[in-house]
Amino acid sequence: MKIKVAADPKSVLEGSLEIANYFGYLSGVHHVQVDVERDANLGNCVGGILVDINGEKYKVRDKKEAAMLFVQGVILRKKVKDLAVKKVLPPEESRITPEVLIVKRNFGKYRDIDGYIFLGGYEALKKALKMKPEEIVEEVKNSGLRGRGGAGFPTGLKWESALKEKASEKFVVCNADEGEPGTFKDRMIIEEDPHALIEGIAISAYTVGANKGYIYIRGEYSDVAENLKRAMEEAYDRGFLGEDILGSGFDFELVLRFGGGSYIAGEETALLESIEGRAARSRFKPPYPTQKGLFGKPTVVNNVETLVKVPWIILNGAEEYRKYGTESSPGTKLFSICGKANKKVVVELPLGVTLREIVYAYGEGIYGEGELAMVQTGGKAGTFVSKEKLDVKLDFDAIKEGVSLGSGAITLIDDKSRFLDIALNVIEFFEHESCGKCVPCREGTFLVRKIISKMVEEGKVDCDALQEIERIVLIMKDSSLCGLGQSVHNPIISLIRMLERGEVA
């Protein structure tokens, strides 16, 4: 038995891949042997997804209908008149943004440094060492590269301000603490392309004038860190790290540091505290790390993904990089799709891609019985986005529409999840991860958790309490010391709004 599901771009964006996956799921549930084929040429129909079972064309609007069709049409082998389609339209072209491989350029292509060099590795470092630091800064500034850790600060400006600082010693730090739940892009990079990271760090160090750098990797990544360690040893052996790199007279020592597992250690100032040997608690800003960072010296902290892009930009130029993405947010971004998605993957897409494309074309919709209820973008501190907003273009400006880009985590949530469960899950996380330094976040997260726990115990939502929660998180945003407290309102308030609109129960 063969089921064909329309897979032309228009159908895909309407969720046809989700339906295709669902047929696969149903065949497993019912122990029925079927081939599910995604056919881009099958055609199209109005107001649903075109499905072909043994030459019969059906229209499926949601999973309920798909299940009915499966039982009637596949198991009972009947014709299902209710769902039959009379008029099949030709396949329709609707653009799905293709993946652009900048960060993922070398994924799966090499095993050791020889392979990396064969692929053109360390050429960017060679080129950079012949350039003036100011030229590199200019190139990175022109590329419009913005930090990929979540805050989106222009990398070129950060480097420039560190370059301008006069100090006896400067540091570069690679933030590989990827603690944002649902984000696993940096892990992929470290697994697949550690040398590009090392190259990027070396270039950043040369640019700002640092002779020592740290990679701060989260403790939970000890397995992939082995890969990174090996790559660093190789780079030292070949003279891409260490003294007098490639005869340029530039010395650079790179050290690997493990985090202790706290979420806040991913915040740059807390990360610096942690490297210094203290508990990871944020420092107040200003002074910014580029002025007074690690051990009081100017320090540039960059995310893994940001740094991996640098060699590519050096080699291909800022113009080339600007061809992707939008005016204010050029380039590509890694998205890690997770949650109830059928495909939990890391995809690299130009910024400005819509959430719908990510959810339906790359994540292939919700796994199993449930329907998509909402998406949380940007990790735990990001906003919950309702189905209505799937067409928002994802870039650093999307927050104006209430969609945060953050670390690029795309968490799919189905309609089986209840409001209180999601809210409790979110706030428990923040209560646990609040470092405890400042009052509004330390006690505010605790208090909000207490209020939500009480609602969970009582099993019902209390509107007055929700108002109180909103007040607490908004003051938390206004008066907290660091990004953690300042962003708790993102998930909480967007979730409350969805409850008010009846999009979550």
If one asks whether residue 179 binds another protein (CB under 8 A), the answer comes out as no
Which contiguous run of DSSP H or E holds residue 4?
strand 2-6
183, 383, 480, 494: which one binds another protein (CB under 8 A)? 480
Nearest distance from residue 435's CB to another protein, in Å?
6
Alpha helices (H) in 38-132, listed in sequence order: 63-69, 113-118, 123-130
Q: Considering only the stretches 13-21, 53-61, 169-177, 439-447, report the one whose residues sit in contact with another protein under the rule CB under 8 A.
A: 439-447
CA distances (Å), origin 388, targets 355, 398, 413:
11, 15, 14
Nearer to another protein, 342 or 445 (CB): 445
Nearer to another protein, 14 or 431 (CB): 431
**DSSP string for 59-81:** EE-SHHHHHHHIIIIIIS----G
If one asks whether residue 436 binds another protein (CB under 8 A), the answer comes out as yes
Measured CA to CA, the distance from residue 469 to residue 308 in angstroms comes to 40
Nearest distance from residue 37's CB to another protein, in Å?
51
Nearer to another protein, 385 or 481 (CB): 481
If one asks whether residue 450 binds another protein (CB under 8 A), the answer comes out as yes
Nearer to another protein, 263 or 360 (CB): 263
Decide: 200 and 173 in contact? Cβ < 8 Å. Answer: no
Q: Considering only the stretches 223-231, 232-240, 309-317, 434-442, report the one whose residues sit in contact with another protein under the rule CB under 8 A.
A: 434-442
CA distances (Å), origin 499, targets 16, 47, 100:
28, 27, 37
Which has the closest alpha carbon to 331: 184, 142, 198, 121?
A: 142
Nearer to another protein, 120 or 260 (CB): 260
Nearest distance from residue 483's CB to another protein, in Å?
11
SS3 179: coil
Nearest distance from residue 159's CB to another protein, in Å?
24
For residue 184, what are the contacts with CB-CB under 8 A and spacing of at least 6?
Answer: 178, 336, 338, 346
Nearer to another protein, 107 or 446 (CB): 446
Strands, sheet with 49-53, edge to edge from the N-terminal-most edge strand: 35-39, 2-6, 49-53, 56-60
Write out the two tokens for 139.
């190139």
Q: Considering only the stretches 95-103, 281-289, 316-324, 357-365, report the one whose residues sit in contact with another protein under the rule CB under 8 A.
A: 281-289
Strands, sheet with 253-258, edge to edge from the N-terminal-most edge strand: 253-258, 212-217, 171-176, 299-303
Nearest distance from residue 269's CB to another protein, in Å?
11
Decide: 36 and 24 in contact? Cβ < 8 Å. Answer: yes
Which has the closest alpha carbon to 183: 294, 346, 69, 49?
A: 346
For residue 498, what are the contacts with CB-CB under 8 A and spacing of at least 6?
Answer: 374, 384, 386, 419, 504
Nearest distance from residue 257's CB to another protein, in Å?
20
Nearer to another protein, 282 or 386 (CB): 282
CA distances (Å), origin 193, targets 184, 222, 446:
14, 16, 40
Nearest distance from residue 263's CB to another protein, in Å?
9
Nearest distance from residue 286's CB to another protein, in Å?
8
Q: Is the peptide bond before 287 cis (omega within 30 degrees of 0)?
A: yes
Q: Considering only the stretches 154-162, 173-181, 378-386, 441-449, report the one whose residues sit in contact with another protein under the rule CB under 8 A.
A: 441-449
If one asks whether residue 154 binds another protein (CB under 8 A), the answer comes out as no
Q: Considering only the stretches 90-98, 384-392, 403-411, 446-454, report the one whose residues sit in contact with another protein under the rule CB under 8 A.
A: 446-454
**Residues 393-432 interacting with another protein (rule: CB under 8 A):** 431-432
410, 435, 455, 488: which one binds another protein (CB under 8 A)? 435
205, 310, 394, 472: which one binds another protein (CB under 8 A)? 472
If one asks whether residue 276 binds another protein (CB under 8 A), the answer comes out as no
Judged by CB under 8 A, the number of residues near another protein is 32
Write out the two tokens for 420.
């209180």
Write out the two tokens for 366.
């919700």
CA distances (Å), origin 204, targets 172, 213, 244, 245:
7, 10, 16, 14
If one asks whether residue 456 binds another protein (CB under 8 A), the answer comes out as no
If one asks whether residue 447 binds another protein (CB under 8 A), the answer comes out as yes
If one asks whether residue 490 binds another protein (CB under 8 A), the answer comes out as no
Nearest distance from residue 49's CB to another protein, in Å?
44
Show the binding pattern over residues 284-323: x = contacts another protein (CB under 8 A), - = does not: x-x-------------------------------------
For tokens 């003279």, what's the residue?
239
Q: Considering only the stretches 138-146, 221-229, 294-302, 477-485, report the one whose residues sit in contact with another protein under the rule CB under 8 A.
A: 477-485
Nearer to another protein, 428 or 503 (CB): 428
386, 486, 487, 490: which one binds another protein (CB under 8 A)? 486
A 10 A CB-CB count for 457 gives: 9
Measured CA to CA, the distance from residue 489 to residue 426 in angstroms comes to 11
440, 488, 493, 494: which one binds another protein (CB under 8 A)? 440
If one asks whether residue 475 binds another protein (CB under 8 A), the answer comes out as yes
- Interface residues with another protein (CB under 8 A) are 262, 279, 281, 284, 286, 431-447, 450, 471-472, 475, 477-481, 486
